[in-house]
Amino acid sequence: MNAAWQIEVRLAGSVDDAVGHQVENNLGWMGVTAPVSVTTARQFLLVGSIGRAEAERLARDLLADAVTESATVHEHAVWDGRRPHSVTVFRKQGVTDPVEASVKRAAGRLGCRIDHVRTGTTYEFKGPLDDAALSRIGSGMLANTAIEDLRVGVVRIPDIRAAHASTFARREVLLRSVDDATLEKISRDGGLSLSLEEMKAIAAYFVREGREPTDVELETLAQTWSEHCKHKTFTGSVVYNKGRPDEVHFKNLLKETIKAATEKIAHPMCLSVFHDNAGVIAFDDVNALCIKVETHNHPSAIEPYGGAGTGVGGVIRDILGTGRGAKPVANIDVFCVASPDMPAAKVPKGCMHPLRTLRGVVAGVRDYGNQMGIPTVNGAVVFDDRYVGNPLVYAGTVGLMPRSKVTKEVRPGDLIVALGGRTGRDGIHGATFSSAELHAESETVDSGAVQIGNAITEKKVMDVILVARDRDLFRAITDCGAGGFSSAVGEMGAECGADVVLDDAPLKYVGLSPAEIWISEAQERMVLAVQPERIQSLLALCREEDVEAAVLGTFTDTGRLRITHAGILHADMDMQFLHDGLPNTLREATYDPPPLGADPTIAQADVSAWLLKLLATPDIASKEWIIRQYDHEVQAGSVVKPLVGTRHHGPSDAAVVAPVLGSRRGFALGNGIAPRHADLDPASAAEAGIDEALRNVVAVGGDPSHCAILDNFSWGNCRKPDRLGAMVRCAVACRDTAIALGTPFISGKDSLNNEYQADGKTIVIPHTLLVTALAIVPDIAKSVTMDLKAAGNVLYQVGETKEEHGGSALSHLVGVSGLHAPRIDGAAAKSLFAALHRTMTDSLVVSCHDLSEGGLAVTLAEMVIAGDTGAEVDVMKAVASQDATLTARLFGESLTRFVVEVPRGKESSFETAMAGHPCARIGVTTVEPTLVLRAEDQTLLRLKGAELENAWRPSLTAWLAGGHANKEVR
């Protein structure tokens, strides 16, 4: 007999309800000013062959904590579940709930068979709030209606179960004889994001085939040809500045810029670049490192927690699917959001407040990364109001693999095996959705495109894959990302062909159509090509580790993609057309420099005040509140941590990780991002991004001659020539800078169409290039951190200061754009990085910090804060260009600069080593932790470490922890 019981678990009266308090603290967001108290309860709906006694036993022994909680059991069929002043939130039917499997498993151990579980949370309010207010609070801050339902005044969770199975007939779409308008309508109505030219090419192909396409074929083509999967803008033809003196034609923009640099450099460390899921370089004699950074912008805009979490999950799968599988050893995360102090009234319709977005993405990264057991070791947050409609979420993973497992191949006859999570309706049309612009209705229209992750499922998949790899149980592997099976099988079978049988794909629930199974972006799935003689061993291994696996067909030598379901042939297409049939588009790109801006000037008397203001800006302020929520030490390889210094509070330039336990060889991981530089010149954004990423890894001891970089472009709508023109200029500068520095790009991605339409206005994100650097650290014992070490040491500025305020933090704070964006001297930078690295391997340096946002003054302030050691510096002693003003010396953001602390007695060795490079002794370290800045004999500022820290450390935390919510933000 099947019965349904709802079990309500609440905290004992003596236990503090922290979740309730968090809600109370954030009610100010919703315009609630009256005092309100909130208590919470967890809800479990259990359906199975259990009676009241069993339900009560499960409540007591499994669901409620014996010390802190108590439980009430309600018979679902006869219970009205009414509760005034309450909001109950639970997942929509069909949305993955990871708790379900765990409850079923544990209940089984306790002798109870449970078939179905739904979970939810109830919030009870004491205070003057009516149902309308509660409904507003519920959808505004408690539930994300993209994936969750809520009930006001009722805590009973509806018992809804999946639909019955149905058969799906072959469905043809009439394309061959319809007019252009109809073709466009078919694309639009089907959410295919295919252009008219593309629809025409498809129609022409099916004229040659002598029949109409099926819905499955059309979906397959839409996915394969999507901007997200094909990167057709970046790999397409572009004419730049047509009719002008600097007109350039690109046949393939990516090949002629980013990839051209890698080819030209031809670095021997590169083992596999640009054709696998991640770039691979040599690590030591037996191991290789691979790295990938991805964006998950559009899903994170709709559902920050799920979007960011699955972003992390997706990039981890890229690493698992590189070569024949790599072990993820480090994660990085970079977010771009609007300012935390954006007034609620300024948030456009359909957008979330940036703080809600940021909290959500931090929680998503935290939960997925921590549960996977991969340390999140480095990251950044950039604040600019133009990200309000399109927040950016970058997630990256480094993997370690044997050098013998770098390659893969698929042979006809190999079995197609799906491994990992089940397929559901989640994430349908993610590939095409992420290629479209967002608008005010996206939140409701596209909620099906949001995926929800389950990190534990992926952890199990990871464990199995690494063992299967070492036992040679498969020949090739790739991940199911955007486009699901369609993308994974389509790519793996591109050179040979594939016969796919969808019947055995494990499904979350019945009722999925063949097209849905084929393109679903359900998470945590991998596709393997398995030698038939190894399949039993692989399936046995999967059973041992509770991982589901199913054979989905065979790779063939027919050159065709054939898909059947229930004996019906739903697709039979030429692989070559699928992969090469996309019509090449010629796009126009134009670049016009913006009008000249003005430089900020700071009065001498105000230097202290501006430094303190800079330290408190969210871009510069401590990110400790975020960093501490990430496990940055799991796997025990973290050597230079994200927080360093006397009290573990200083901001590291980069992370150093020693991924092989017992070995002292490591790698440094850093990022560079300078979107505001792009407002003045996208070339500067490329140079500053690459320079910053390199500065960061060099500052901690990374070897610049053994360093690879990655590009990630997040751009506006590149069908518009000015956006594309900026991207061309940026990509060309990437090429030139990489060649000059000798650092090859080994992987990259682009996310276009980051524009938001609301209230008749378009918000375009700043052109945003994230550069990630991965450098070998030959001996981790030579790593250097940024905290000042001891009094009596000598401070140097390495690098030259120029009058460059374009896009600087000070310019932004003052409200000007700056006149010149910083530019790089690539050849000089290359030899400076090499010389500085040698001083570290020769143990001449005890601390080093790069100069980035806020320039020399902020760098020194951070070193003083982190080291609880003072610094006395004459800024006029630093190497600077003739025209450099005092403001530039203090706060300018010229590239390729560092502050270096050298122990007394090693100055002459250091100076000899740096001979020929801009490098000057600027001051000394002192016992008293105070920063003193002078211009020759004039004192510009004298600030105690505590004053600096009080400006820098709590600023962003106060926003994120909700302290500001009731005051400034309404």
Partner 1 sequence: MATPKVLVLRCAGINCNEETAHAWNMVGAEAEQVHLNRLLESPKILDGYAAVSIPGGFSYGDDIASGKVLATELTTALSDALHRFVDRGGMVWGICNGFQVLVKTGLLPGKLKTGRTVAATLTWNDSHRYEDRWVHVQLDGRLCSVVEKHGAIIELPVAHGEGKFITADPADLAALEAAGQVVLRYVSANGGQTSYPGNPNGSVGGVAGVCDATGRVFGLMPHPERFLTPFQHPCWTREKHRTEGDGLSLFRGAMRTLRSS
Site of interaction with partner 1 (CB under 8 A): 15-16, 18-19, 21-22, 61-63, 65-68, 98-99, 101-103, 105-106, 109-110, 366, 370-373, 454-456, 459-460, 463, 544-546, 628-636, 638-641, 643-646, 648, 658, 661-662, 664, 780-781, 783-785, 787, 789, 846-847, 867
Looking up tokens 């002459």, which residue turns up? 908
The minimum distance between CB 587 and partner 1, in angstroms, equals: 46
899 neighbors 859 (Cβ within 8 angstroms): yes
The CB-side HSE value for 244 (13 A sphere, CA atoms) comes to 13
The reply to whether 648 belongs to the active site is no
Residue 344 has φ and ψ, to the nearest 5°, of: -55, -35
Structure tokens given for 901: 């602390």
**Nearest distance from residue 432's CB to partner 1, in Å?**
31
**Minimum distance from residue 417 beta carbon to partner 1 (Å):** 20
Residue 228 falls in the annotated catalytic set: yes
Catalytic residue (choose from 228, 649, 706, 812)? 228
- Residue 424: DSSP 8-state: -
Cβ atoms of 314 and 413 within 8 Å: the answer is: no
Contact 639, 783 (CB under 8 A): yes
> Please, which residue, 561 or 956, has the CB nearer to partner 1?
956
For partner 1, the closer CB: 65 or 503: 65
Which H helix or E strand runs over 835? helix 826-841
Question: Which of residues 245 and 662 has its CB atom nearest to partner 1 in the complex?
Answer: 662
Nearest distance in Å: CB 928, partner 1: 18
Helix 258-265 to helix 721-741 angle, to the nearest 10 degrees?
10
- Residue 676 CA, chain-centre distance (Å), reads 20
Nearer to partner 1, 218 or 355 (CB): 355
C-beta atoms surrounding 934 within 10 Å: 18
Tokens representing 147?
A: 């994936």
Taking the complex as a whole, the smallest distance from the CB of residue 16 to partner 1 amounts, in Å, to 7
- Report how far residue 854's alpha carbon sits from residue 868's, in angstroms, rounded to the nearest whole number: 20
Query: Is residue 807 a contact partner of residue 686, using CB atoms and an 8 Å limit?
Result: no
3-state secondary structure of 241: coil
707-714 and 745-751 beta bridge pairing? parallel
- SS3 string, 311-349, reads HHHHHHHHHHCCCCCCEEEEEEEEEEECCCCCCHHHCCC
Q: Which is nearer to partner 1, 635 or 811 (CB)?
A: 635
Query: Taking the complex as a whole, how short is the minimal distance between the CB of residue 47 and partner 1, in angstroms?
Result: 17
Count, in order, helices (H) and strands (E) of the chain: 32, 40
> Among residues 325 and 553, whose Cβ is nearest to partner 1?
325
Residue pair 908/841 in contact by the 8 Å Cβ criterion: no
Point out the catalytic residue in the list 74, 76, 231, 296: 296
| Residue 258 vs 462, nearer CB to partner 1 | 462
Of 634 and 764, nearer to partner 1 (C-beta) is 634
Distances from the Cα of 840 to the Cα of 67, 126, 627, 655, 919, angstroms: 54, 61, 27, 16, 15
Q: Nearest approach, Cβ of 603 to partner 1 (angstroms)? A: 37
Cβ atoms of 706 and 833 within 8 Å: the answer is no
H-helix or E-strand containing 183?
helix 180-189
Minimum gap (Å) between residue 161 Cβ and partner 1: 21
* CB 17, min distance to partner 1, A: 9
In 59-198, DSSP assigns E strands to 69-75, 82-91, 114-126, 148-154
Looking at the Cβ atoms of 391 and 666, the one nearer to partner 1 is 666
Active site residues: 228, 296
